[in-house]
Amino acid sequence: MGLLYDLSTKYKTISIVGMAKNAGKTTALNYLIEEAMDEGMQLGITSTGRDGETTDLVTGTDKPRVYLYEDTIVSVPTQLYELAEAGLEIVRKSNYRTSIGELLLCRVADSGYVQIAGPVATADTKKMCAEMFDMGCELILIDGAIDRKSIASPETSDAIILATGAVLSRNLKKVVEDTSHIVNLYNLPVLEDGDARKLIIDHIKEDRIMLIKGDRAEKLDLLTGLGGSRFIDEAIDKDTEYVYIPGALTNSVIADIHPSRLKQVQFVLKDPTKIFIDAIGWRQLIKKGFSVRVLDNITVAAVTVNPFAPGGYSFDHGVLLEAMQTALPEIPVIDVRM
């Protein structure tokens, strides 16, 4: 039994997320598709954008294509349907539209290469996945074809597979450090049930910075913390327990908050994709007593490593694999190229 079989016993929808372009995301997707064929598993395949083309539409570099086997359910827009080398049977037309046409839900009748695309909105992706399950899918893989921050959101899928590799840096230590940093952020503690969580959720649609003081929420006239750290600092008093930030958490959001107040309160975010602080900066903050909770964290089901970079350099695959496994002992780490 392979990795995919093990994951399918725990999750029904899995997003494949790249740490960066050319991190091996599509290679990981193809690896999992092959495993599903070996296991006789009914797969559904969709995407948060477009994937499967021979050349990256942004960078112009060559990229691996997506090969689908018979009986796979896949979402394909009308403008890409005729480009498929696989035989596709249209099962139904969906109500979702993209910039390249209405999305079709198809069954692969003859194996071959397919360019896939899917809804961009999270709500539409969830609805499409429900339709795919109704069509007999046992597991759905969501290709993260836009950016890793949006597709990693816990609203999108049950878990993610994080693709990383040499493209991040020529320094192997930095590749491992940056990847483990993201995994650790995604596993941040969830704000426990209680008055604070209820107050935040009750007012969350107002999209305001909130200070939780006992049984009340004090909303600041700020839509984002960017450039507003001085105002947050002034609003924190001895009764403040939590500060909810609805948008991005960057160094500038907390730069002017006094160290004693930074240590006094717990910051709360919707999910870890809102954090834009690098590994070094994060360690420095933690040493100062900085504390963060999230309303929902992200399950990283596995990490795939790609030792090759399009820049022409590479790592020894065994060395990269071992280093990543040592850094992430609780998570399966595989080199899908090998």
Q: How far apart are CA 188 and CA 298, in angstroms?
A: 8
pLDDT digits (tens, 9 = 90+) for 118-130: 887 888 889 999 9
Count the helices and strands in the chain (H runs, E runs).
Answer: 12, 18
| Mean pLDDT (whole number) for 141-156 | 71
Q: Where do the domains of the chain lie?
A: 3-187+298-334, 195-294
Two tokens, residue 121 = 């909105």
109: three-class secondary structure by DSSP:
strand
Task: Compute the distance between CA of residue 66 and CA of residue 49 in angstroms, rounded to an integer.
Answer: 14
Residues above pLDDT 70, as percent of the chain = 92
Residue 229, SS3 per DSSP = helix
Q: Are 230 and 251 contacting, i.e. CB atoms less than 8 angstroms apart?
A: no
Task: Determine the topology of domain 3-187+298-334 in CATH.
Answer: Rossmann fold (3.40.50)
Beta bridge partners of 139: 43
- As a whole number, the mean pLDDT across the chain is 89
Helix axes 172-186, 279-287, angle to 10 degrees: 60
Chain center to CA of 120 = 13
Could you read off the pLDDT of 323-335 as tens digits, one per residue?
999 999 999 999 9
Whole-angstrom Cα distance, residue 228 to residue 210? 13
Asked if 23 contacts 144 with a C-beta cutoff of 8 angstroms, the reply is no
Taking only the tens place, the pLDDT of each residue in 250-306 is 999 998 999 999 999 999 999 999 999 999 999 999 999 999 999 999 999 999 999
What DSSP state is assigned to residue 190? B
β-bridge partners, 293: 268
